[in-house]
Amino acid sequence: MFLRLRLPLFLTFFAGLIPIVAFFFKEEATIVKLPSNWLEQDMVIVSGFALLLGVVNVVQTNVRKIERRDNGWPFALVLLLGIAFMGIFGAAGALRLGGLPGIGNYPDGRLTPFAWGSRYMFTPLQSTMFSLLAFYIASAAFRAFRVRNLEATILLLAAVLVMLGRIPVGEGVFGGVTEWMMQVPNGAAQRGIIIGAALGAASLSLRVILGIERSYLGLDKNG
């Protein structure tokens, strides 16, 4: 029980407390800054392992999907082939294993396999995913801008003024109004959201550091 519960709680407490304490000291206080900097560097290593676990989880999930012939299993197969292609050429190119080319271009300007996959596979797929957001935004705007009450009417008028101020035709007339709306009302709302998110993050961090929130251990708070 100690190794399963108490030890992770102690490690979490000290790992969360050290950066907080180090924030109030100058760089000359090496006895405090050194452990804090060491923890920040270790976060990069932990992130690398987390990325590896994410890849393993994606592979396992899609392999099971292919085995069961679930809906969309051909897309899962394409995803696994893409991961294998980019992973093999990326890792081998970065480490220069087996005489494979690096992850950049050849000296004569030709694309290496990894660079080819990045330019002609990953970049178009990424652009496609972002382009789909336009349809979701249009659908959300259609639902949000319905004039049902006073608040919805104000939202609709603000959206129209902002859009008119962002296009060349209306920029000269509505540009000043648009900038004022983006900096004053919108800026105030953004600051409120950021402050709320920061308070929420601080609250959750304190719950984790103090051992109140234990979901990351796979246990409830009373476990």
**Region 150-161: what's the mean pLDDT?**
84
Residue 103 pLDDT > 70:
no
Residue 148 pLDDT > 80:
no
The pLDDT assigned to 197 comes to: 95
Q: What is the pLDDT of residues 162-195, one digit of tens each?
A: 888 888 888 888 888 889 999 999 999 999 999 9
Residue 107 banded pLDDT, cuts 50, 70, 90: low
Long-range contacts at 186-189 (CB < 8 A, ≥ 24 apart): none
For residues 75 and 69, what is the distance between their CA atoms, to the nearest angstrom?
A: 11
DSSP one-letter string for 82-121: HHHHHHHHHHHHHHTGGG---SSB-TTSPBPHHHHHIIII
For the CA atoms of the chain, what is the radius of gyration? 26
**Region 64-88: what's the mean pLDDT?**
90
Q: What is the dihedral of CA 108, 109, 115, 120, to 10 degrees?
A: -130
At 54, which helix (H) or strand (E)? helix 30-68
For residues 80 and 88, what is the distance between their CA atoms, to the nearest angstrom?
A: 12
Nearest by Cα to 25 from 37, 13, 9, 7: 37
Residues of the chain with pLDDT > 70, as a percent, come to 87
Nearest by Cα to 61 from 91, 87, 92, 83: 83
Q: What is the pLDDT of residues 13-48, one digit of tens each?
A: 888 888 888 888 877 777 878 888 888 888 888 888
For residues 130 and 169, what is the distance between their CA atoms, to the nearest angstrom?
A: 26
The pLDDT assigned to 152 comes to: 80
Residue 1 pLDDT > 70:
no
* Residue 117 vs residue 147, higher pLDDT: 117
The pLDDT assigned to 88 comes to: 83
